[in-house]
Chain A
Amino acid sequence: NAGVTQTPKFRVLKTGQSMTLLCAQDMNHEYMYWYRQDPGMGLRLIHYSVGEGTTAKGEVPDGYNVSRLKKQNFLLGLESAAPSQTSVYFCASSPTGNSNQPQHFGDGTRLSIL
Chain B
Amino acid sequence: SQQGEEDPQALSIQEGENATMNCSYKTSINNLQWYRQNSGRGLVHLILIRSNEREKHSGRLRVTLDTSKKSSSLLITASRAADTASYFCATDVYSNSGYALNFGKGTSLLVTP
Contact A99-B30, Cβ < 8 Å, known A42-B106, A105-B42 = yes
With a cutoff of 8 Å between Cβ atoms, the chain A residues found around residue B98 in the complex are: 31, 48, 50, 56, 97
Chain B window 4-26, contacts with chain A (Cβ cutoff 8 Å), 1 for yes, 0 for no: 00000000000000000000000
Residue of B nearest to A4 (CB): B42
Cβ-defined contact, A98 with B99, below 8 A: yes
Chain B window 54-98, contacts with chain A (Cβ cutoff 8 Å), 1 for yes, 0 for no: 000000000000000000000000000000000010001011011
Contact A99-B2, Cβ < 8 Å, known A42-B105, A42-B106, A48-B98 = no
Name the interface residues of A3-51: CB closer than 8 Å to any CB of B: 4, 31, 33, 35, 40-45, 48, 50
- Among A41, A98, A99, A107, the residue within 8 A (CB) of B41 is A107
Cβ-defined contact, B97 with A41, below 8 A: no
Cβ-defined contact, B99 with A102, below 8 A: no
In the bound complex, how far is the Cα of B100 from the Cα of A97, in angstroms?
8
Interface band, chain B = 20 to 34
Q: Does A74 contact B (CB under 8 A)?
A: no
- Among B88, B97, B101, B105, the residue within 8 A (CB) of A40 is B105
With a cutoff of 8 Å between Cβ atoms, the chain B residues found around residue A56 in the complex are: 95, 97-98
Cβ-defined contact, A102 with B42, below 8 A: no
In the bound complex, how far is the Cα of B94 from the Cα of A97, in angstroms?
9
Cβ-defined contact, B1 with A105, below 8 A: no
In the bound complex, how far is the Cα of B99 from the Cα of A44, in angstroms?
14
Cβ-defined contact, B99 with A31, below 8 A: yes
Residue of B nearest to A101 (CB): B48
Cβ-defined contact, A42 with B2, below 8 A: yes
Q: Does A62 contact B (CB under 8 A)?
A: no
Given contacts A90-B43, A100-B31, 6 further A-B contacts (CB under 8 A): A43-B103, A44-B2, A44-B103, A90-B42, A100-B50, A108-B40
Residue ranges of B at the interface with A (Cβ–Cβ < 8 Å) = 1-2, 30-31, 33, 40-45, 48, 50, 88, 92, 94-95, 97-106
